[in-house]
Structure 1
Amino acid sequence: MAWFLYLIECDDGSLYTGIATDVEARFAAHASGKGARYTRAKKPLRVLASFELAGKSEALRAEYRVKRLSPMQKRALIAGKRTLESVLPQTEASEEE
């Protein structure tokens, strides 16, 4: 089953990073106040990007790495100026190929 890493823009300009098997359904949960505590406090506006990964473990590792990025680095990832593979350690990126 495919998993997705997604980035949401919130009403205060911050970015939320999460994983899900259905990004649209997960965003709907965030928007209705049934998502993460972060998005209950900061209203989610829209999904800015999503990236498909092979499975849950890969998605969890990618989420961990992306959450450690600065907002500027996350925006570069969203804009396509940086690849998701460039965020992952070389051993993880090469295992997914």
Structure 2
Amino acid sequence: MYYIYILLCSDNTYYTGFTTDVEKRVEEHNEGKGAKYTRGRTPCKLVYKEIFEDKSSAMKREWYIKHRLTRKEKEEMIGKFTK
């Protein structure tokens, strides 16, 4: 399984990524071993995730969230996830 996830960083920005192990990846981000973007923006909190059966679908969704959704749209999506 593949996952896309959104983190809320300490500077109140969002980071979107994909992985096969969400919990491990969040831990890596918080240890400074994740993406360059999240270093210096820790702690990061997992606020959203989706599951995919294949890597291609997960990567397409990650790209869409990063490049097509506004912050407001991301927050609406996150709000539905947390309810």
TM-score, normalization by structure 1: 0.78
Q: Say whether 1:25 aligns with 2:24.
A: yes
**Distance between the aligned counterparts of 1:41 and 1:59, measured in 2?**
26
Are the equivalent residues in 2 in contact too, given 1:8–1:44 (CA < 8 A)? no
Are the equivalent residues in 2 in contact too, given 1:3–1:21 (CA < 8 A)? yes
Per the alignment, residue 11 of structure 2 pairs with 12
**Distance between the aligned counterparts of 1:49 and 1:64, measured in 2?**
15
Aligned AA (2:77): L
Q: Say whether 1:62 aligns with 2:44.
A: no
Aligned AA (2:61): A
What is the Cα deviation at residue 21 of structure 1?
0.5
Are the equivalent residues in 2 in contact too, given 1:11–1:42 (CA < 8 A)? yes
**Distance between the aligned counterparts of 1:79 and 1:50, measured in 2?**
12
Q: Structure 2 stretches of 5 or more lacking a match?
A: none
What is the RMSD computed on CA atoms of the aligned residues?
Answer: 1.2
Deviating above 6 A after TM superposition, structure 1's stretches of 4 or more consecutive aligned residues are none
What is the Cα deviation at residue 44 of structure 1?
3.6
What is the Cα deviation at residue 54 of structure 1?
1.4
Q: Which has the larger radius of gyration?
A: 1
What is the Cα deviation at residue 41 of structure 1?
2.9
Decide which structure has greater helix share: 1
Relative contact order (C-alpha < 8 Å, sep 6+): which is higher?
2
